[in-house]
Amino acid sequence: MLWIFGGVLVAGLVLAAICVWWGKEGNAEIIPAIGATLGVIGVIVSGILILAYSMALAGAPVKAKLLNESYGTHYTTEDLIWGDDIIKEVIQGKRSRLDVTVEQKN
């Protein structure tokens, strides 16, 4: 996934550079401005997505360690990166089953 964000980042930079170069050659002024703006927007969005994804990658080992210690599981960092939603559903299901089992004393 990081490759996709990086590709969009590079594509945005290339688009902005081509449009700025085209504008300096004396061509139509609006097309380079629109292209450069789209390129800069692509760079900003990609930068934000790369930062968010990198933070998730950095936090995954710690999260895996905490889950494994708390629930006695053996999840890896890759499991948490790609299957975080499924793992949360499984853990929530385990909690529900534990909460439902109640003994009554007469």
pTM for the whole structure: 0.54
| Residue 105 within any structural domain of the chain | no
Q: With 60 as the cut, is the pLDDT of residue 98 above it?
A: no
Q: With 70 as the cut, is the pLDDT of residue 47 above it?
A: yes
Q: Which domain holds residue 51?
A: 2-100
| Residue 17 within any structural domain of the chain | yes
- Read off the pLDDT of residues 69-90 as tens digits, 9 standing for 90 and up: 888 888 888 888 888 778 878 7
Mean pLDDT of the chain: 76
Please give the C-alpha separations between residue 67 and each of 12, 17, 83, 89, in angstroms, as whole numbers.
39, 46, 13, 13
Q: With 60 as the cut, is the pLDDT of residue 97 above it?
A: no
Sequence length of the chain is: 106
Number of domains present in the structure of the chain: 1
- Read off the pLDDT of residues 1-30 as tens digits, 9 standing for 90 and up: 667 777 777 887 787 777 777 766 666 667
| Residue 43 within any structural domain of the chain | yes
Q: Of 63, 48, 52, which is closest to residue 9 (Cα–Cα)?
A: 48
Task: Decide: 60 and 77 in contact? Cβ < 8 Å.
Answer: yes
| Residue 58 within any structural domain of the chain | yes
| Residue 106 within any structural domain of the chain | no
| Residue 68 within any structural domain of the chain | yes
